Amino acid sequence: MPGNGHTSVRSRQVAAQLRRLREQAQLSCSDVARTLGLSVSKVSRMETASSGMQIEDVAAMLGLYKVSATKRQEILDMLRRADEKGWWQRQAGLPQLWRNLIDFEAKSTRIQNFENMFVPGLLQTAEYCRAVIQGINDTLSDEEIDRLVATRMARQAVLTRTRAPQFLAVVDENVLRRPIGGDGIMHRQLLHLGTFAERPNITLRVVQSSAGAYVGLRGTFVILEFDGEPDLVHVENQSTGMFLEEDADLASYRLVLSNILSAALKPAESADLVRQIAAEE
């Protein structure tokens, strides 16, 4: 199993689940180490994916935490496939995909998000978010929509916490002009976007429509950077999310972002454009 220098996405997911399950069992790392005959440092390293995890050790922990057989098998299967790169997760809806992304956003030191369809989720207002979700899937119940909106709003706390990550939001001008929702929803969203762009850890860049065809039209993506762990790229479509972690994939998306930024307005010019469009609403 690879160590921290080459920690796979699945290893990180297993590590995070081990930590949550221990906390739910109200046990300390010392309690676990003493009961299972491990060192406290090993338990800690396993929970941060900073060292390799053995199936036997993880299975023993899951038994100690009284994890159900179904959940135990799910976690062990994930660990067995931990060396697989660029893994796919298919889900009937978006919540699981969101939870995975939230986990990584919470650990990131820098997030770079390009969007050509919607305002980035981390910068959406609740009413804009609701209008987007309803427009994408009109089969959802009010309760399901409420839960998804609440999840996205909670996700945004990462940008205002102490030691918040640097966030680069790059959007196509089309994002700012698409009329989503009614009764001033788009106007308020644009004002919100402009206000958040003034925060020291947030940078907003806009690619004007006059740029014509450019590489960003191929799709949206998020690059997540970490302290002491390999970076990731997250891409998503209808109901499938993918985390890419190979060096070649990371280099490719960084080049794409660089090309997009070369076509984008500078931050001050972008802020001016947002204010101009908001005034038109």
Is the pLDDT at 239 greater than 90? The verdict is no
Q: Which 3 state secondary structure label does DSSP give 12?
A: helix
Range with lowest mean pLDDT among 36-45, 74-83, 261-270: 74-83
pLDDT digit string, tens, across residues 129-172: 999 999 988 898 998 898 888 888 888 888 988 889 999 999 99
d(CA 193, CA 205): 11
Which residues have CB under 8 Å from 246's CB, separation 6+?
85, 86
Range with lowest mean pLDDT among 69-78, 192-201, 208-217: 69-78
Instruction: Check the CA dihedral 40-42-48-54 and report its sign.
Output: negative
Token pair 């979700």 is found at 133
How confident is the model at residue 95, as a pLDDT?
Answer: 56
How confident is the model at residue 69, as a pLDDT?
Answer: 83
For the CA atoms of 2, 7, 9, 14, the dihedral, rounded to the nearest 10 degrees, stands at 70
Which own/partner contact pairs does 31-39 have at CB distance under 8 Å and 24+ positions apart?
A: 32/61, 32/64, 35/64, 36/60, 36/61, 36/64
pLDDT digit string, tens, across residues 13-22: 788 889 999 9
| Mean pLDDT of the region 22-34 | 93
Is the pLDDT at 251 greater than 90? The verdict is yes
- By percentage, how much of the chain surpasses pLDDT 70? 88
pLDDT digit string, tens, across residues 262-277: 999 999 999 999 999 9
- The more confident residue out of 76 and 100 is 76
- The band of 27, judged by pLDDT with boundaries at 50, 70 and 90, is very high
- The band of 256, judged by pLDDT with boundaries at 50, 70 and 90, is very high
> What's the chain's average pLDDT?
86
- The band of 7, judged by pLDDT with boundaries at 50, 70 and 90, is low
- The band of 8, judged by pLDDT with boundaries at 50, 70 and 90, is low
Is the pLDDT at 238 greater than 60? The verdict is yes
How confident is the model at residue 204, as a pLDDT?
Answer: 98
Is residue 31 packed enough to be buried (19+ CB in 10 Å), middle (13-18) or exposed (0-12)?
middle
How confident is the model at residue 97, as a pLDDT?
Answer: 61
pLDDT digit string, tens, across residues 40-66: 998 988 887 766 778 888 888 998 999
pLDDT digit string, tens, across residues 161-184: 888 999 999 999 999 999 999 879
Instruction: Check the CA dihedral 197-233-19-107 and report its sign.
Output: negative
Residue-wise DSSP of 149-195: HHHHHHHGGGGTSTTPPEEEEEEEHHHHHS--SSTTHHHHHHHHHHH
Is the pLDDT at 237 greater than 90? The verdict is no
Is residue 124 packed enough to be buried (19+ CB in 10 Å), middle (13-18) or exposed (0-12)?
buried
Tokens of 244: 């890419």
